Structure 1
Amino acid sequence: MDAAIFLYSRVSRIPDDTRIVPCLDMLEDTERINLVAELTDGTIVRGQNEISHPSIDSKKFTKDIVASSKSPDVMRKAFWTAVLESGEFPESDPHEVWGGLPKSSGGYKSVRTALASGSLIDAAELLKSRFDDIADTPLSVWDVDKVVTAFDPLPSPVKRVFYASSLDPAAKNIEVQPKPNRTVLNDIADCDAVIYGMGSLYTSIIPNVCLRGMSEAIAKSECKKVIMLNGSLDRETGRMKASEIVQALVDAVNMRYTAHETSYAVRDIVTDVMYPQNGGIVVDVDVLASMGVQAHECESVPAPSSAASPAAHYDSVAFVTRLARFLRREGVAR
């Protein structure tokens, strides 16, 4: 785990004074565990990818694909050695890096440009061609973007997510309630703020906090506890409003529906919500206020989206400035 964190930190250029700690108690929970979602209609969805962005159904895309005759750069050791040494991912022709088609039928060279133009078919065509090139190799990496499948609706809304000891549908008594890393609990007790960052609500944020003892640690801390709302909705959140996202997080921290359930109030877990202007999530300020939660709008920059799915990105400088301001730590905004 330490090696993986070091590698990720270096490639991502995370500042040296930033500490990354696994959320789970790795000494106690040595068995492999998985994420499972229970939907409101009783459906059980097993595995993070299936909850958040399931695999593309190849039956939907029937175009003939011609694989590349040249091995993609990502399959070469020298490529990854250069990435690790430089800490940067090179700006190269997507076809050269990932393999597959040089261009899609619509003339797009990369998945991202196809998605930015709203052509999911072209994006999927490129993805499939690259998959054909490298899927059978040990290094099965390709230019995939969860946007391709992240908006297919779930059968019903998510009721809760939990950790499981097995993804086998036939397995019984699979639910487990791991403890958080002791370092995380100590840091929460001595921090300036708890920030629930952007990301997929049920597969990126909640898995870090639906742990035994986490609710007590967060509730006892007298610091600000801030949710950064995403700039758009996704498969997991459906049409949830800001207040519903807050309540879902609070329920998860309180480990609702389990034998370890606690009953801390909303404001014990969340005190503030930050959201970008013109984002895709409805921020019901009055309802949040009735829950004891303050809402803070932040300047944003436009993000590619369809007319039916508005989206926005935070202006990073404005966000840091506003966060520092209401935390009364102006020196942070540098």
Structure 2
Amino acid sequence: MASQSGSRNTHLDIPDFRLPTQRHHLDLPAPPQQLISTTDSQGPTVWSRQLDSEPDCSPSYLVISGGTGCNAICAAFARACYVLPVSDDGGSSSEIIRVLGGPSIGDIRSRLVRLIPHAPPGTPLNALRTLLAHRLPSGDHAELAAREEWRSVVEGRSSLWVGIPEDRKETIRGTGWRFLVYFENEILRRAHKNFSFVNGSIGNFLLAAAQSFFRSLSSAIFLFSSITNSRANIVPVISTNHTVTIAAELTNGTHLVGQCEISHPIPRPRSLTYEDEHEYMSSLSFDTISPTMGNQRNVFFGAESKNSFEKLRASISRLYYINAYGHEIFPVPNPEYVSGLGSHEVLVYSCGSLWTSIIPCLALRGVASAIALSPTLRAKVLFLNAKNDRETEGYTAVDYILAIARTLNARYQVEPYGLGPDNAATTYPVSTFVTHLVYLRGCAVHLDAGLIRELGVNCVEVESDARGADDIPLYDVACTKRAVELALGGSSC
């Protein structure tokens, strides 16, 4: 409840969970809040959020990223809109898509959970975070255990509900909107598809149920944010209620279908030979219901899979979208994404998977001109990965920059007949898309600063104390903030 003391500051108690004022998704969020504690002489310590009295002069960011690549540095962006792809077909999202259809919500759920405000243990907000971040049992023989735990959650018996206020519990689970019960009903209606709950994310189930109920992913995001007292500003790159599938064309002319197959493919049959690959890929990919699902169920992969990846037969030349019949299509970006490019000050291409996290947000109609001609963007900053992965093996820093520029300068529409001004394609210089390249000192990706400068791009080197298991540096909040400060200050290598 709002404090009635004589203080000029306004206090919002975390347990109150009041809904944020409804607003357009790309409006700038309110100034950051700090957790403070006050002790009543007749009661326990009360944790609340104190609105900053000073205006926040930090720049506004539009951050293009995937689900996990940017999670560790979100705190560096005080006022940010996050644009995320909806084409991930791995993890428990694959099972939701296989049975219920709809866009992928796994990356969005990951970011929503990350942006839940911090709260002390034992508070309702912390209990909500624990519930929505929880995954059901996983493993080769975990189906019965996963189903039993799911039943305890949906019936309200699970210990995960302890500490969650009754109104939030019933909004998520029971009467009224009853989203988890709604999800259960939708699964039962498709019982012949044998939905697997193994490794299922409760947050994914809530978001998928809300998207299906409202027929709007944006509305589902708003509900999730409201329940968790979050000011997260997240925009799906494509506004759709249908499954979205990406494909990659390799330089040798072959194609890979689906994010999972491009980035971290599941193990193939032991008997598969190189000559059988085309036939095998065809059987996996072009299903008239969903081009990436086929017979795949609950596609699992862990962080370690990207460190022990199977090499691509050739490098990726382009990424494109396809429909359920395997035909290339040209989707329109979410209008909120395009308008955001014309209202924010810093565009960030986040660290993460280049071809399956960043490029899907660029290979869309009108995005190139929105970036190149934006009247507000002061800097367009690419955070270079510290090391290459399966998608970018052998890449130099220049290759990352050119992949972005080449994608944005491509045409995303059915080629018209004839010539004329209406059919002319505009090619923008590299520097209209990327103004700064941020890289970590000691990174494993080769960088030619002179060649990058010739492209009109400034280099910004930062040092990080964070290290991965292989001792390669990782981005953290401090070095990310420093990098943006240097970019906006005009520093270059």
TM-score, normalized by length of structure 2?
0.44
Name the Cα RMSD after superposition. 3.0
Alpha-carbon spacing, 1:218–1:47, altered in 2? closer, same or farther (3 Å): same
Specify the alignment match of 1:219 in structure 2.
372
Aligned to 1:321: 482
8 Å contact from structure 1 (residues 270, 293) kept in 2: yes
Superposition pairs of residues 118-129 of structure 1, within 5 angstroms: none
Residue 414 of structure 2 corresponds to residue 241 of structure 1: no
Q: Does 1:188 align with 2:341?
A: yes
Equivalent residues of 1:36, 1:161 under 8 A apart: yes
Distance 1:19 1:176, change over 3 A: same
Amino acid of the residue matched to residue 312 of structure 2? L
Asked whether the 8 Å contact 2:108–2:234 carries over to 1, the reply is: no
Partner amino acid, structure 2, of 1:210:
A
Q: Which residue of 2 aligns with 1:204?
A: 357
Q: How does 1:124-163 map to 2 (within 5 A)?
A: 140=298, 144-145=302-303, 147=305, 151-163=309-321
1:50 aligned to 2:211? no
Distance change >3 Å, CA 223–CA 182, structure 1 → 2:
same
Find the partner of 1:302 among 461, 467, 475.
467
> Deviations along 1:28-81, whole A, 9 cap, x unmatched?
xx5433110000010111111111000134749xxxxxxxxxxxxxxxxxxxxx
Counterpart Cα distance in 1 of 2:427 and 2:436: 19
In the aligned structure 2, how far is the partner of 1:257 from the partner of 1:160? 12
3-state secondary structure, aligned to 1:51: helix
Alignment partners' CA distance in 2, 1:235 and 1:3:
23
Aligned to 1:272: 436
For 2:309, the aligned partner's letter is F
- How far is the alpha carbon of 1:237 from its aligned partner? 0.4
Q: Residue 229 of structure 1: CA displacement?
A: 0.8
Give the letter aligned to residue 456 of structure 2: G
In the alignment, is the contact (CA less than 8 A) between 1:35 and 1:47 conserved in 2? yes
Structure 1 unaligned blocks of 5 or more: 61-138, 330-334
Moved over 2 A (4+): 1-18, 30-33, 56-60, 139-151, 255-262
1:12-31 alignment runs, 5 A limit: 12-14=114-116, 16-26=230-240, 30-31=241-242
DSSP-derived class of the 2:302 partner: coil
Look up the SS of the partner of 1:313 in the other structure. Answer: coil
What is the number of equivalent residue pairs in this alignment? 240
Q: TM-score, normalised by structure 1?
A: 0.64
Q: What letter is aligned with 2:357?
A: S
Q: 1:226 to 1:7 in 2, by over 3 A?
A: closer
Q: Can you list the C-alpha shifts for 1:153-175, whole angstroms capped at 9, x where unaligned?
A: 10001000100003x6xx5xx00
Q: Say if 2:379 and 2:435, in contact at 8 Å, map to a contact too.
A: yes
Gap change, CA 1:146 and 1:288, over 3 Å in 2: same
Could you tell me which residue of structure 2 aligns to residue 40 of structure 1?
251
Change (3 A) 1:291 1:2: closer
1:11 aligns with 2:82: no
Counting aligned pairs with the same residue, the percent is 30
Offset, 1:143? 7.1
